[in-house]
Every structure is written in C-alpha cells, then in structure tokens.
Amino acid sequence: MMINSILLIDDEDLFHLVFEDACSILDITLSLEALDSSDEADKKFKEWFPDDPNDEKPECVFVDLNIIGSSFDGIEMIRKINFEYGNGCVIGIISSSDDKQEIEKAKKSGAQFWIIKSDDIEPRLEEFKEDYEGYKDKTNPFKIYR
C-alpha cells in the first residue's frame, strides 16, 4: 500500500535526499515534502487546522527527535500535532537515538512508531510500509524499528 503524502521534519538536508530516494525506490509514497525546522512545520499545521480545504495535510509525518535551529524538539511537535492540531495523521519519530526515556516520552505524546536512523534505512522503511495499514486504522501498537 502506498502512502498518499509524507511530511518529513528533519534539520539534516542530506537525510532529506536519503529519505526521498529510499521512499521512491521502495514505492512508499508519490508525494513527499521535507522541512528542516519544527517551527516551519508548526506554521503549516496551523494553516491546515481546523479545516484543510485543499486537502494538503500529509497522511503520514516523520519527525526527527532533535531538530537543530528549531524552537522545540520532535516530541513536542508530535504533542502539538496530536493535541493542538486535531491529530488526523500517522505520526512518529525518525532519529539516530534509541534513548529509552525519549522513546517513553514520544509514546506519551502520541507517537505511533520510532524508526532508528542508520546507514541502512531501507529495510526499516520497508517494514514500516508493511505495517502502515495498522497505523492508519490505529490498530498497531507502538513499534520501534531497529
């Protein structure tokens, strides 16, 4: 199953390219937008909330844990999307960290998954793609992709 649209929030431009190419090779989505700050993403979500007349809101959001140069981190971004901007999208963290405390915080803020960034991201994204349906209908429990 292909995801209609993905939003990636990550400060590392090179990772934008890696993610875009990996998603394209794995046929994960046709539409991918990448932002490099949570402030920028916050602005977009404000525009899309409460109505999204042009249906621009992404179906799935990947957020980096530490977004350098932003006012708040990925967990706060997820909390805002889930509790201030009406949820409505599959959302999780994509980070090189696997800190247990941060993972717990992400779960509490409403993250549905945690993907650990590494040189070999494709197998994790492929596994995520297989599980995606369950995240969309909220039947999948929180999962860490190592």
* Contacts to other proteins by CB under 8 A: 12, 14-15, 17-18, 21-22, 24-25, 27, 29-31, 119
Q: How far is the CB of 67 from other proteins (least distance, A)?
A: 17
Residues 6+ apart with CB under 8 A from 41: 7, 9, 35, 61, 63, 77
List the beta bridge partners of residue 143. 113
Three-state secondary-structure class, residue 15: helix
- Residue 31 vs 71, nearer CB to other proteins: 31
Q: How far is the CB of 121 from other proteins (least distance, A)?
A: 9
Taking the CA atoms of 119, 18, 81 and 71 in sequence, report the sign of the dihedral they define: positive
- Residue 24 vs 71, nearer CB to other proteins: 24
Q: How far is the CB of 73 from other proteins (least distance, A)?
A: 20
Q: How far is the CB of 25 from other proteins (least distance, A)?
A: 5
Rounded to the nearest angstrom, the gap between the alpha carbon of residue 42 and the centroid of all alpha carbons in its chain is 13
- Residue 21 vs 40, nearer CB to other proteins: 21
Task: Look up residue 101 and give its amino acid.
Answer: Q
- Residue 32 vs 93, nearer CB to other proteins: 32
Q: How many angstroms separate the CA atoms of 85 and 48, rounded?
A: 8
Residues 6+ apart with CB under 8 A from 138: 112
